[in-house]
Amino acid sequence: MTKVGIISLGCPRNLVDSEIMLGSLKKEGYIISDEVGDGVDLFIINTCAFVKSAREESIDTILEAAQLKKEGRIKYLIVAGCLSQLYGKKLLKSLPEVDGIVGTSDIPRIKDIVKKKIPAPAWKRHPDYLYDEKSPRFSLTPPHFAYVKISEGCDNLCSYCVISRLRGRFRSRTADSVVKEIKNITKAGFLKEINLIGQDTTLFGADRYGKGVFSPLLKRITALKNTVRWLRILYTHPAHYTDEFIFTVRDEPKVCKYLDLPIQHINDTILKRMNRRVTKKGIIDLIEKIKKNIPGVALRTSVIVGFPGETEMDFKELLIFLKDTRFERLGCFLYSREEGTRASKFKGQIPDKVKALRFDEVMKLQQGISAGINRSFMGKALDVLIDEEISRGQYFGRTEYDAPEVDGGVHVSGKNIKVGEFYKVKITDTLEYDLVGEAI
């Protein structure tokens, strides 16, 4: 039997695609291996191409796999995902060791591509694929949490972003399809957390129903019997929040009081050049409304430093805003000049050295903010979902304020603790990004 291994790079949205590819192959009788390269018959690399650093990581991984193939330790090599979508035939020509190219719209064709060993890339210029509840999946996450992708593509067209080229126009699944998938994956009773993902979850349904229907979807999911304890929402857009959505997060006990709210910047000129479709006042008013209506909410944001034309004064404005707002979680990115984006042609490109200095300033500021927020949990008892056992009697878990794989968590000590279960944990120490506690 053919053994299949995979490396899935990039975000959880890409991970879902990897799970669908493996599910399709498993259904055809292929054996899914824990090995990530050496010793498998078929090796798939699901790539990311969102920014330059992601493309470099993808290419390095492909080159390492190509060397394994030359040495006879891999029989067949397929490159899938965003890098394939971005470069198509060029990638195949430049890397003769690669046997197949799979774009983001040809994920379900993986079994046919492998069987026929099609040398030409399976690639559409305009991606339109959208999986549903019937799509086979092979889970790559621990048994106690899963990602459910409710939409694909993006219509926001931020001037710095290539997502629409990689993933196509925004398109929502049907609400029925999402609900049926959640029913299917929760049947076994192991799942404790579902993370709803998409390029813009807050816009869900606008393309299909003429208006956003994300809040009704959340209510349908939380109303399901025997469903998960935590329903987490990722990748929202500040321009698409509604009062109904905010109130739903507040009122539904199963919805984590955690919102991923990327602002990218706070200066009005920069926001306009980014095409973020929101103003400084709009962001401030939204954050005030969220905090007023959702007691104890944790906000994660992301910001970009070094965007073309960002002056020192613009950057200081961002720093002051971050200092005043005190986001519980924050990711900072250096602006990446992406070919084919409008921002790549903007005047006032910032030197890499200046970008790096601004990045360091933001992260130093956030480090202090995070440490201060963590100290406020000292002595408190928190609900923690255990993700893994680190060593005997030592575990790592997360609160509802921590998304998997992107945020910090809680280092937990205790006896007879089971991975994938909830425990009350008394916080005994705090670090810059993590908490330390004992199960009680």
- R_g (Cα) of the chain, nearest Å: 22
End-to-end Cα distance, the chain: 47
Structural domain includes residue 344: no
Stretch 118-122: mean pLDDT: 56
The residues with which 429 forms a beta bridge, in sequence order, are: 436
What is the structure's pLDDT at 122? 62
Structural domain includes residue 136: no
Structurally, the chain folds into a number of domains equal to: 2
Structural domain includes residue 175: no
> Chain-wide mean pLDDT for the chain?
94
Structural domain includes residue 146: no
Among 93, 116, 139, the domain boundary falls at 116
Among 82, 116, 150, the domain boundary falls at 116
CATH number of the domain within which 60 lies: 3.40.50.12160
CA distances from 171 to 127, 152, 261, 379 (A): 11, 5, 20, 46
CA distances from 324 to 271, 289, 303, 370 (A): 19, 16, 15, 13
What is the structure's pLDDT at 126? 84
pLDDT-wise least confident of 118-122, 235-239, 244-248, 367-371: 118-122
Report pTM. Answer: 0.95
What is the structure's pLDDT at 1? 61
Query: pLDDT tens digit string along 228-271?
Result: 999 999 999 999 999 999 999 999 999 999 999 999 999 999 99
Give start and end residues of each alpha helix (H) in 77-189: 82-87, 89-94, 110-116, 163-167, 175-185
d(CA 136, CA 185): 11
For residue 363, pLDDT beyond 80: yes
d(CA 18, CA 397): 25
CATH number of the domain within which 420 lies: 2.40.50.140
d(CA 121, CA 84): 8
What are the tokens at 267?
Answer: 């200066």
For residue 68, pLDDT beyond 60: yes
Only one residue has tokens 């086979």, namely 136
Structural domain includes residue 53: yes
Structural domain includes residue 50: yes
Only one residue has tokens 């509802």, namely 400
For residue 376, pLDDT beyond 60: yes
Only one residue has tokens 């010793």, namely 39
Query: pLDDT tens digit string along 286-329?
Result: 999 999 999 999 999 999 999 999 999 999 999 999 999 999 99
The residues with which 81 forms a beta bridge, in sequence order, are: 47
Structural domain includes residue 435: yes
For residue 117, pLDDT beyond 60: no
Among 116, 131, 160, the domain boundary falls at 116
For residue 121, pLDDT beyond 80: no
Domain that holds residue 393: 381-439
What are the tokens at 45?
Answer: 């690399």
What is the structure's pLDDT at 172? 98
